[in-house]
Amino acid sequence: MQVQQQARTADTIDLMINMGPQHPSTHGVFRVVIWVDGERIVKAEPHIGYLHRGSEKLCEGELYSQVITLFDRLDYVANLNCELAFCLAVEKLMALEVPDRASYIRVILCELNRIASHMLFYGVYGLDVGAMTPILYGFRERERIQGLFESVTGARMMHNFIRVGGVKEDLRDDFEPRMAVLLEELKQGIEECDDLLSQNEMFLARTKGIGTIGPTEAIDFGVTGPSLRASGVLEDVRISEPYSIYERFDFGVPVGTYGDCWDRYYVRVEEMRQSLKIIEQAMAQMEPGPVAANVRRIARPPKGEVYVRTESPRGDFGVFLVSDGSDKPYRLKVRAPSFANLQALQYLLRDAYVADAVVILGSIDIILGEVDR
């Protein structure tokens, strides 16, 4: 492709640098080819597809209950949020009423997963700007959450816990005391993480005013989630189109001003606090009861199509499901937020420095499992 020529006094050529797919800072197997003039990026070209597994096609060959396991592997940092999106789609198609307790369990686990995901972002972002300590603090909190997940779902990552019509099983007896401890720990942990990095002079210098994107551009690129809210757009699916039982909770939505890297970072930190609020309310409101609707073991949704939007930690996670009345989906399409957010990368990288490329890429928090599907 033609590299844009700029007026230069000396006869120089741009240096092409291939970042990825084995580059440690591309958050997985992502490749971006950048042309640099000295330390300035002239042009950047993202390449994706290294983690393509054909998940959507695979789903067409599996029973509805088996598809959930494939959804676990889309956004492998926020598995439960993906499971929830799929189950909501099937339930909407079948017009199923999910028991209250199941919904509460779902919300609690999903919000915990959101915190875990943002904690991963927090740690990795610290590494991206060159601070090596935050990742260990982020992972400490993540570890605590995963410990709880392990006791509830039996797995630390690929839970397969949220099922069509409810959840796999009820919470254990020790859940409530463990949750109380965890909430306290997380509250403290989030503040600690915030103190460690957010207002650090050098961190501000590295992230403030870097990779800005305005609200209209962000919407045009299809950016959603924290990255969109950082640009000053008040859009959260949990508020604008509440799914599950999100309308029962009071929580704030953090919104940024400039849409720069720092805003994108801090919106996520603030979101963790809001998620804690939701969990506290859900724990208080939850009552004993059944945790699964009366569904046949092999679900056969009626013929039709449905689209469900959910707010995953990365943004608007949509599932489009077409059913032909059989026990397998006829067609499944996932609207992955990471994929849409990634489209803005080229725009964000304009006139950036090489060192900023990593900071900007980190700030939109992509998960390659979701981008490539």
Partner 1 sequence: MTVVQGIYYALGALALFVFLSFMVLVLTWVERKALARIQMRMGPMRVGFHGTLQPLADAMKLVLKEDILPSWADRRVYWLAPLAVFIPSLLLWAVIPVGRDLVLANLELGLFYIVAISVLTVMGLLMAGWGSANKYAMLGGLRAAGQLVSYEIPFIMAILAVAMLVQSLNLETIVDGQRNFAYILVQPLGLFIFLTAGLAELGRTPFDIHHAESELVGGPFIEYSGAHWAVFFLAEYINTFTIGALTVLLFLGGWRWPAMPFDGFAHSTLSVIWFLAKTYAVILFIFWIRGTYPRLRIDQLMAFGWKLLVPLSFVNIVITGIVLFYGWPLWTLTLISLVLLGATFYAISRHQGTRLERMTVTVHSFRGTRSEPPVVQPQPEAALED
Give the footprint of partner 1 on this chain (CB under 8 A). Answer: 15-19, 23-25, 36, 39, 126-133, 136-137, 140, 197, 199-206, 208-209, 215-216, 219, 230-235, 239-242, 247, 250-258, 260, 262-263, 266-267, 270, 274, 353-358
Please state the closest distance from residue 175 (CB atom) to partner 1, in A.
Answer: 26
Q: Which residues contact 78 (CB under 8 A, 6 or more apart)?
A: 110, 113, 114, 116, 117, 312, 313, 314, 367
Please state the closest distance from residue 128 (CB atom) to partner 1, in A.
Answer: 5
Rounded-to-integer distance, Cα 324 and Cα 303, Å = 5
Please state the closest distance from residue 196 (CB atom) to partner 1, in A.
Answer: 8
* 20/329 with CB nearer partner 1: 20
* 72/235 with CB nearer partner 1: 235
Rounded-to-integer distance, Cα 121 and Cα 139, Å = 10
* 26/323 with CB nearer partner 1: 26
User: DSSP for 145-170?
Assistant: HHHHHHHHHS-SS----EETTEESSP
CA dihedral 176, 178, 181, 182 (to 10 degrees): -100
* 55/312 with CB nearer partner 1: 312
Please state the closest distance from residue 169 (CB atom) to partner 1, in A.
Answer: 31
66 CB-side CA count, 13 A: 12
Q: Residue 208 is which amino acid?
A: K
* 22/294 with CB nearer partner 1: 22
CA angle 156, 129, 145 (to 5 degrees): 20
Please state the closest distance from residue 119 (CB atom) to partner 1, in A.
Answer: 14
* 252/290 with CB nearer partner 1: 252
Please state the closest distance from residue 320 (CB atom) to partner 1, in A.
Answer: 21
Phi, psi of 306 (to 5 degrees): -150, 150
Please state the closest distance from residue 332 (CB atom) to partner 1, in A.
Answer: 27
Residue with tokens 């007026």: 7
**How is residue 95 written in tokens?**
């017009």
* 231/310 with CB nearer partner 1: 231
Q: Which residues pair with 321 in a beta bridge?
A: 306, 332
DSSP category for residue 307: E
